[in-house]
Copies of this chain bind each other. A is one copy, B any other.
Amino acid sequence: MEFTKVIKATGNQQIKDLKKLHTTKGRKKAGRYLLEGWHLVKEALASQADITTILVTADFKHLAELEGLSGIDLIEISPEVAQSLSDAKSAQGIFAVLSLAKTVPVEPKTARGAWLLLDGIQDPGNIGTMVRTADAAGFSGVVFGTGSADLYQPKVLRAMQGSQFHIKLAQGELLPWIEAFQAKHYPVFGSELNEAARPYNQVGKHQDFALIMGNEGNGMQRQHLELTDLNLYIPIKGQAESLNVAVAAGILMFELLA
């Protein structure tokens, strides 16, 4: 194993710089984000993601699987440095630095297949889980609408389980997406109960469509709601007031996609 360098001090300037990637501002400024843990780093390697640097402890148990990597700066770090870089209670001993620039922007007009549109979803665990589920269900992509939590924060990355390498992800206003789908006569489904709302399992299967999931507490934005072709609801048989948004999205996605 050829390390380009060894960093043992948590006060090291490069480590300090990497810690800034824990914030949205820091990621934007550096144009990079940080992945933690073997499962996610392995997914990134398998997907030929744009990894610039891998940082790993000397006793990391899958060290052998990092043999022969080219074009990646491989740095050995002490367990103390690993813990200081980690967002988790106990660091897993491996980190990768990835370029944000590699994310190719998707144009709403060229979008096909099933897309999940996140309308102000706040909880990072919910967001990450929804991307993972969209991947599993065979969706083409997920749009993080303005007001949704940031895509590259550690908790989102952990819950996504590497699905960012499998499906298309976009960030921005949802309006152009809704309009682009409607221009092609692809249905846009909302998920808010109103007079015209239909049970989710009575609208058939679809290939090209958008499904909008609203904020955990406040639901969808009014302007988006008004544009939907149909709102769907999941009938509640018990006494719970509602479903967790990631669970609801999972039930809808698996039911709707042909």
Contact = CB atoms under 8 A, between A and B. Distances in A.
A123 to B, nearest CB: 10
Chain A interface extent, by class: 20 to 34
Contacts of A89: none
Contacts of A234: 136, 254
A237 B125 contact: no
A238 B167 contact: yes
Given A129-B244, A129-B246, A137-B238, 20 more contacts: A132-B244, A133-B240, A134-B238, A135-B238, A135-B239, A135-B240, A138-B237, A161-B241, A161-B242, A162-B240, A163-B238, A166-B239, A166-B240, A167-B238, A234-B254, A243-B250, A244-B250, A248-B250, A250-B250, A250-B251
Contacts of A132: 240, 243-244
A137 B236 CA distance: 6
Contacts of A246: 129, 244, 246-247
A51 to B, nearest CB: 18
Contact of A247 (B133, B139, B240, B242): B133
A197 interface: no
A247 B248 CA distance: 8
Report the 9 A-B pairs with minimum CB-CB distance, sorted nearest first. A138-B237, A247-B250, A136-B240, A166-B239, A135-B240, A135-B238, A129-B244, A136-B236, A138-B238
